[in-house]
A and B are shown apart, each in its own frame.
Chain A
Amino acid sequence: MSNYYLFQDRKKCIGCHSCEVQCESYKSLPSGPKLCQIVQDGPHVIDDLPMISDVRFAQGITHGRSVHDIKHILMSCFHCETPWCVAACPAGAMKKRPLDGIVYVDPLLCIGCKTCIAACPWGSVQWNPEKRQAVKCDFCMDRIDRGLKPACVTVCTSHCLEFGAIEQKMPGLRKKSLAHISAPKDVKAEILLEKRCPVNAAITEIERILDTGNLIDPKSRRRTEKILELMQDVAWGRAGSDHLQSMESFAQKIIKEGPDDISIKTGQFLELTLTEHHEVFVSHLQTNNCATGECVKIAPAPCQMACPAGIDIPTYVTLIGMGRDAEAIEVIRKDNPFPWVCGLVCTRPCEFMCVRGRIDQPVSIKYLKAFAAEKAMLEGRYVNPPKKPDKGQNVCIIGAGPAGMSAAYYLSLMGYGIRVIEALPTAGGMMLLGIPRYRLPCRIIDLEVTMLEELGVDFRFNTNFGKDVSLDSLKAEGFEAFFFAIGAHKSFDLNIPGETAQILNGPQAIQAIDLLRRVALGDWDQNIKWPGERVVIVGGGNVAIDAARTCLRLGCKDVRMAYRRTRSEMPADVEEVEQAEEEGVQISFLTIPVAIIGTGIGQNDRITGIRCVRAELIAQEGGSRKIPVPIEGSEYLIETDAVISAIGQQVDQDCLSSIPKLKWTRRNTLFASNVNMKTSVPGIFAAGDAVSGPATVIEAIGGGKRAADAIDRYLSNTPQPRMPPVPVRRGRIDWIEMSAKVKMALQRPVMSLLPIDRRRKTFQQVETGYPEQNVREEAARCLRCDICFRCGRCVEICRDKMKVEALKMGYLDFDRPGPTDFSVAERRCILCGACAANCPSGAMRMEDSSGERVLSLCGMILNRQKLIHCESCGAVMGTAGYLEYIRNKHQSVIQVADPRTHCYICARKTMAIYTASRLRQYD
C-alpha cells in the first residue's frame, strides 16, 4: 500500500479508454503494455466460473456485447507493503519508495529477467517487448512529485477516477513503515570515453536532448527525431547512400527555420557533428563497420580487423560452413584477389586474433580459403565480378607481385586502363620466386594471374623500369598515375671473409633468394649437382627454411642450417621448422659463421667449409632481449660445398635512381604513407615489400588494395583519407545452429602431409588439405565474433544480478582469458532470459519452440528446457527452474507451497473478477 489512493467510480465510467491511451502515451510505450487496465464484466461473469473466459479486457472488445452489460474496473497496482515483485527482483530494479510507498521499476537497473512479472500474484507488472523491461503503474510518480495527478486521472473524460492522499481519505490505513527499503541510488552520469565513435556519441546526445523535453518546437523536434532515426540506421549498418545528405539537410532546416534558441543550438550541434566527423559517417556508410566497436550492431570481428587486407572472414567462413564455396570466394575477392594463394601461404594474422583460439585452437581460416577456391574453380564458378565502364584514364604499375597485381585487379574493376611492367619473364613476384613450389604450386599462381588477364590487364614482361622504360616515357604514353611495387629482392650480405669470392664453376656462396628464384624459373644447369652435395644455410627465418627444403629436393645429401640463437627465437613458422626437420634438415643453433673457407678462395676455386663459433645468449644491460655472444675458443669448421645466405632482403634502389625526388626511409625502403600509400612525389604511389621491407603476401595485397583506392581518389580529385580504411562488412549471413556440446567437441583438424619420402625428393605440394567433411565442421567452429562483440554483459547479468552463474565464458577477455565451459549453462541456466534481454547485439537469443525454451549464443545452443504453461489460457510461464527460482525468492515475503500456475494476464483477469464481485455488493 502506498500513501495514495486511486479510486474508480464505476457508475460514472463510460469505457472510453482514454485513461489507457494516456497511460501508453505518457510512458512512451508504443506497443502498449498498460499500467492500468479496464475489465468488463457481464451479468453472468462474476458468479459463474465457466463463463470466466467471457471476461475480456476492455481494449477493443466493447463491441459485440450489449452496452448495458459492460462494467469497467480499473486494475492498477496494490503497492503491497511487502511486495513480491521487490522480493523477487534479483537486480534491485523493483523498488518501493520509502517516501510514499509507491512500488516502481527503475529502468536503469531492470535487466529484463521477468521475475517480477512471474512473481506478482495480481498481474500488476507487465512486459514492454520494445524496451525489454518490466513496466508497472507507479501513479506517474514524476507527476506526483511535481504536484500533478497521474496521467490517467487527468484525462478521464467522465471524471470517474479519483486520486489523492490516502491519509485524507482513510486516516491510519497505511500502518507499516517501509523505511528499510532504500531510496534509489543516484545514477552516475555517463562517462564519456576518450575515443568515442562520433556516430554513437551523437545518437546519445540527440536522445538526451529529446528526453529533456526542452525542444518544444514541433517542427524542430520532428526533424531532430528524423535525424536520430537516420543516424540509428547508420549505426545499425542499414543506411543508404543518401542518409548523410538527408541528415545534413534536416540539420540546416532546423537552424534556418528554428523559432527558438534551443532549436537553433540543436541544429548547430547536429550540423557540426556531421561536418567534423564526415569521414567517420562515410566510413560507417561504406563499410558497415564501426572501428571503435561502439556501434555494436556493426562492430567488426577481431579476425577481420587483424587481416591486413580486411577480408570479411566470419561471412566467408560461415558460407563455407554452409557449403556455399563460390559465394565465399566472391566475398573474399572483394578484398583479396588471390584467395587460393593466400589459402596456402598466408601468415594468417587472423588466426592469432581468432577468439576460438582462447578456448582451444583457432579456426583454420587460412586453409578454408584454399579449399573454397579450389572447389569454386573446379565448379567453374571462380569468376571475375563485372567491370565498371571505362574511365579513359591509365595507370602504370611497376612490379607484378602481390601488391602490384592486387592494385591492378581493383583499378581494373574501377574502369582504369592498367599496364603492369615486370622485369621477370612471368608474373607472381615473391609469390613465385620466394615461395617454393612444394608450398605454392605454379599452376595456382598462373590461374589467379589469368583472372587478371581476363580483366584486360596489360602485362609487359622482361621490361626493366629505369632501363627499358622511364617515368617520362610512360607519362608520354598517357599514364597519369604510377604504382611502384618492386619488392625487396636484394639480399643482405653476410659480411664475412670469403663471401664475395668470385667462383665461376661449381658450388659457390649464393644468396637464398637467388637460389629460390633460379629454381622457380628453372634457371640452372640441371646436369650438375647444384648447389652441392653438402650445403649450409645461414639464417633462421622462413626464407632460410625454404632454401634448406629446396636444397633437399634438389638432391643435396647434407643440408644444415646455422642459426645464431636458439630454437625458441627462430623467426620461421614453427610448422615450417618441424616439417624441415622431418625431411632431414639439420639445424645448428647458437652458431655464428665467421668465414667461408675454400681452396684458393679468390682464385676461382671451390668452397670447402664454413668456419663458425659457438655462441651464448647474454642479456643486454637495461633490456630483456638476449643477444648472441661468441664463446672464445669455440671455433669449428662445418664442411660444405655451398654456403647460402638467408639473413634478409632489402629494396634494390638502383631502378628508381632516375626519380631523385622519391624519399627513402632510413631502412632503405620507399617512404609512403600506410594510410594512402602516397610517396613524396605526386602521382606516384607505392606498397608491398618496397615500402614495408620484407613482409608478407597478405600485407602486400592489403597495401595494393589501399593504393588502388588512393589512386582512384587521386585521379578523381577526391581527398585522401586520414586514417587507414575500416574493413568492409560484406554480408549478414545467418549463423549455423548447433549445440554447444557439439561445437566445443569439434577440434581443428590436423593437416595431412605428403609421405616423407616423396617430400624429400619432389616439389609436390606438401600440405594435401582437409577432406570436405572436416572443412565444413571446421567452419562451423567459428564463434561469429561479427555478431557477438564480447562485451560480457550476459556474464555480468547472470553472475552479478541473477546470481545464477550459468555462463562461464573466460574467452571474452583478451588480456587475461580464463577457462570457458559452456556445459555449465546446461547444468545451471534457468532460462530467465536476462542475458538475452540485455545483449546489445542480439547474439544471445532466447526463443520458445516446440514446447521448449532454447537459449543460444550466435546459434550455439547453450540450454533447452521444457516450458510450463498457464493452467487457464495455456500461455507460456517459463521453465520449471525459472519458476522454482522465483519461488525461492519469495520465501522472504511469504511461504508458497506451489509455484504460480497462472500467467500474469490470467492473474490480472482473476483479480478483476474478484474485485468486481466484491464491488457488486455495493452496487
Chain B
Amino acid sequence: MGFRKGQKVEIYKKSADDGWESFMDAYVGTHGIITDPDTAINDSDALVEVSLVGKGTFRFPQDCLRCI
C-alpha cells in the first residue's frame, strides 16, 4: 500500500495505466484525499480511491498521485 486513508494527494500527471480514463485528464492538478487505498492486496499497482475537491470520487492508478 503506497498511500494511506486520509492522506492528502495531488493528481500531478496523467497515467499510462489502463485504469486512467480520458475524462480524468481534466483532473490533473487537482487535490484530494485518499478515501480507500488498496484495502486488500497491499499492491503498489492497485487503483486507489481518491475524493477530489469539488470533482468527485474516483479510482486512480497510483503513479499519477503524490502526497501534498
Interface residues of A (CB under 8 A from B): 195, 291-293, 299-300, 302, 305-308, 310, 347, 349, 352-353, 492, 539-543, 564-565, 568-569, 571-573, 624-625, 646-649, 665-667, 671, 673-675, 692-696, 699, 702, 722-724, 727, 814-815
Contact between B56 and A543, CB atoms less than 8 A apart: no
Q: How far is the CA of A814 from the CA of B31 in the complex (A)?
A: 9
B43 surroundings in chain A (CB, below 8 A): 648
What does the 1/0 interface line of B8-40 toward A look like (CB < 8 Å)? 100000000011010100100001010111111
Could you tell me which residues of chain B, from 21 to 68, have a CB within 8 Å of some CB in chain A? 21, 23, 26, 31, 33, 35-47, 49, 51-59, 67-68
Q: Is the CB of A564 within 8 A of B53?
A: no
A860 to B56, CA, bound (A): 27
Chain B: which residue is nearest A664 at the CB level? B18
Instruction: State A542–B38 Cα separation when bound (angstroms).
Output: 11
Q: Which residues of A contact B53 (CB under 8 A)?
A: 302, 305, 353, 814
Of residues A308, A568, A722, which shows the largest number of chain B Cβ atoms within 10 Å of its Cβ? Answer: A308
Given A565-B42, A647-B42, A696-B36, the answer on whether A305 and B54 have CB atoms closer than 8 Å is yes
C-alpha gap A654/B15 in the complex (Å): 30
- Taking a contact as CB atoms under 8 Å apart, the answer to whether B40 and A694 are in contact is yes
Assembly CA distance A667 to B44 (angstroms): 12
Q: Indicate if the CB atoms of B47 and A305 lie closer than 8 Å.
A: no
Measured between C-beta atoms, what is the minimum distance from A161 to chain B in Å?
Answer: 54
Other 6 A-B pairs with CB < 8 A, given A349-B51, A543-B39, A572-B39: A300-B54, A302-B54, A353-B53, A564-B42, A702-B57, A723-B26
Contact partners of A692 in chain B: CB under 8 A? 47, 59
- Expressed in whole angstroms, the Cα–Cα distance for A306 and B52 within the complex equals 7
- Chain A contact residues, majority secondary structure: loop
Within 8 Å CB of A646, what residues of B? 40
Q: Report which of A307, A352, A648, A702 forms a contact with B41, defined as CB distance below 8 A.
A: A648
Q: In angstroms, how far is the closest chain A Cβ from the Cβ of B39? A: 4
With both chains docked as a complex, state the minimum distance between the C-beta of A219 and any C-beta of chain B, in angstroms.
39
Instruction: Please judge, given known A-B contacts A353-B33, A543-B40, whether A569 and B47 are in contact too, CB under 8 Å.
Output: no
Are B42 and A571 interface neighbours, CB within 8 A?
yes
A430 to chain B, nearest CB (A): 12
A723–B23 touching, CB < 8 Å = yes
25 CB < 8 A contacts A-B: A302-B54, A305-B54, A305-B57, A310-B56, A349-B57, A352-B5, A353-B33, A353-B53, A539-B40, A542-B39, A564-B42, A571-B42, A647-B42, A648-B40, A648-B41, A649-B40, A665-B18, A667-B45, A694-B41, A699-B49, A699-B59, A723-B26, A727-B56, A814-B31, A815-B31
Q: A195 contacts which of B26, B51, B58, B67 (Cβ < 8 Å)?
A: B26
Q: Report the minimal beta-carbon distance from A625 to chain B, rounded to whole angstroms.
A: 5
User: A299–B53 Cα gap in the complex (Å)?
Assistant: 12
Which of A300, A305, A571, A727 is the one whose CB lies under 8 Å from B1? A571
CB of B23 to closest CB in A, whole Å = 5
Q: How large is the interface on B (under 10, 10 to 19, 20 to 34, 35 or more residues)?
A: 35 or more
Whether the Cβ atoms of A724 and B40 lie closer than 8 Å is: no
Are B49 and A695 interface neighbours, CB within 8 A?
yes
CB-CB under 8 A for A625 and B2, given A571-B39, A724-B56, A814-B31: yes
Distance between Cα atoms of A667 and B52 in the complex (Å) = 23
Q: Please tell me if the beta carbons of A305 and B55 are within 8 angstroms of each other in the complex.
A: yes
Closest chain-B Cβ to A644's Cβ sits at a distance in Å of: 14
Cβ distance B59 to chain A, nearest Cβ, rounded Å:
6
| Among candidates B1, B21, B45, B52, residue contacting A569 with C-beta atoms closer than 8 Å | B1
Q: Are B18 and A666 in contact, with the CB atoms below 8 A?
A: yes
- Chain B positions within 8 Å of A, measured between CB atoms, are 1-2, 4-6, 8, 18-19, 21, 23, 26, 31, 33, 35-47, 49, 51-59, 67-68
- Judge whether B23 and A815 touch: CB under 8 Å: no
Q: How distant is the Cα of A696 from the Cα of B35 in the complex, in angstroms? A: 10
> B40 is contacted by which of A293, A353, A541, A814 (Cβ under 8 Å)?
A541
With A540-B42, A571-B39, A692-B59 as given contacts, are A352 and B33 in contact (CB-CB < 8 Å)? yes
Instruction: Kindly report which residue of chain A lies nearest to residue B8, judged by CB atoms.
Output: A815
Kindly list chain B residues whose C-beta atoms are within 8 Å of the C-beta of A291: 54-55
Interface centre among B35, B44, B49, B58 (most CB of A within 10 A): B35
Among all A-B residue pairs, the 6 with the closest Cβ atoms = A648-B40, A349-B35, A648-B41, A306-B51, A571-B39, A541-B39
Q: Is the CB of A674 within 8 A of B21?
A: yes
> Are B49 and A696 within 8 A (Cβ)?
yes
Q: Give CA–CA (A625, B2) in the complex, Å.
A: 6
> Which residues of chain A have C-beta atoms less than 8 A from B4's C-beta?
568-569
CB of B36 within 8 A of CB of A347, answer: yes
* Chain B residues positioned under 8 Å from A353 (CB to CB): 33, 51, 53
CA distance A724 to B58 in the complex (A): 10
Complex-state Cα separation, A352 to B5, whole angstroms = 9
Residues of the B chain whose Cβ atoms lie less than 8 Å from the Cβ of A293: 54
What residues on B are CB-neighbors of A696 within 8 Å? 36, 49
Tell whether A571 pairs with B51 under 8 Å between CB atoms, given A349-B57, A353-B33, A540-B42: no
Closest residue of chain A to B52 (Cβ to Cβ) is A305
Q: In the assembled complex, which residues on chain A have CB atoms less than 8 Å from the CB atom of B6?
A: 352
Q: Are A492 and B56 in contact (CB under 8 A)?
A: no
- For B39, the chain A residues whose CB sits under 8 A away are 541-543, 571-572, 694
Chain B residues positioned under 8 Å from A302 (CB to CB): 53-54
Least CB distance from B45 to A in Å reads 8
* Chain B residue with Cβ nearest A309: B57
Give every chain A residue within 8 A of B44 (Cβ-Cβ). Answer: 625
Residue with the greatest number of chain B CB neighbours at <10 A, chosen from A299, A492, A564, A694:
A694
A666–B18 Cα distance when bound, in Å, is: 8
B33 nearest in chain A by CB position: A352
Tell me whether A349 and B23 are in contact (CB under 8 A). Answer: no
Residues of B within 8 A of A352 (CB): 5-6, 33, 35, 51
Question: Smallest distance from the beta carbon of B46 to chain A beta carbons, Å?
Answer: 7
Q: Determine the distance from Cα of A675 to Cα of B53 in the docked complex, in whole angstroms.
A: 18
Contact of B58 among A292, A625, A674 (CB under 8 A): A674
Residues of A close to B5: CB separation below 8 A: 352, 571, 573
Nearest CB in chain A: distance from B42 CB, A:
7
With A571-B42, A649-B40, A667-B47: A815-B68 Cβ-Cβ less than 8 Å: yes
Give chain B residues whose Cβ lies under 8 Å from the Cβ of A571.
Answer: 1, 5, 37-40, 42
For A673, give its contact among B1, B21, B36, B68 (CB under 8 Å): B21
Which residues from chain B contact A724 at a C-beta distance below 8 Å? Answer: 23, 56, 58
| A293 to B51 alpha-carbon distance, docked (Å) | 16
Within the assembled complex, what's the spacing in Å between the Cα atoms of A492 and B40?
A: 10
Q: Which residue of B lies closest to A306 (CB)?
A: B51
Q: How far is the CB of B33 from chain A (nearest CB, A)?
A: 5
CB distance from B66 to the nearest CB of A (A): 9
Residue of B nearest to A539 (CB): B40
Residues of B within 8 A of A572 (CB): 39
Distance from B3 Cβ to chain A, minimum over Cβ atoms (Å): 9
A349 partner residues in chain B, CB cutoff 8 A: 33, 35-36, 49, 51, 57
Inter-chain CA distance A306–B23, complex, in Å, is 17
Task: Report yes or no: B42 in contact with A306, Cβ–Cβ below 8 A.
Answer: no
Q: Who on chain B is nearest to A726 by CB?
A: B56
The distance in angstroms between the C-alpha atoms of A386 and B47, with both chains bound, is: 38
- A665 and B51 in contact (CB under 8 A), knowing A352-B35, A541-B39? no
The answer on a CB contact under 8 Å between A693 and B36 is: no
A695–B35 CB distance below 8 A: no
How far apart are A699's CB and chain B's nearest CB, in angstroms?
7
B33 touching A665 by the CB < 8 A rule? no
Q: State how many angstroms separate the Cβ of A362 from the closest Cβ of chain B.
A: 11
Q: How far is the CA of A306 from the CA of B34 in the complex (A)?
A: 11
CA–CA, A541 to B46, complex, Å?
14
Chain B residues in 8 Å Cβ range of A671: 18
Contact in complex: A647, B49 (CB < 8 Å): no
Residues of chain B within 8 A of A306, CB atoms compared: 35, 51, 56-57
Residues of chain A contacted by B55 (CB below 8 angstroms): 291, 305
Contacts of A308 in B (CB 8 A): 56-57
Cα-based distance from A349 to B49 in the complex (angstroms): 9
CB proximity of B22 to chain A, nearest CB, Å: 8
Neighbouring B residues of A814 by C-beta, 8 Å: 31, 53
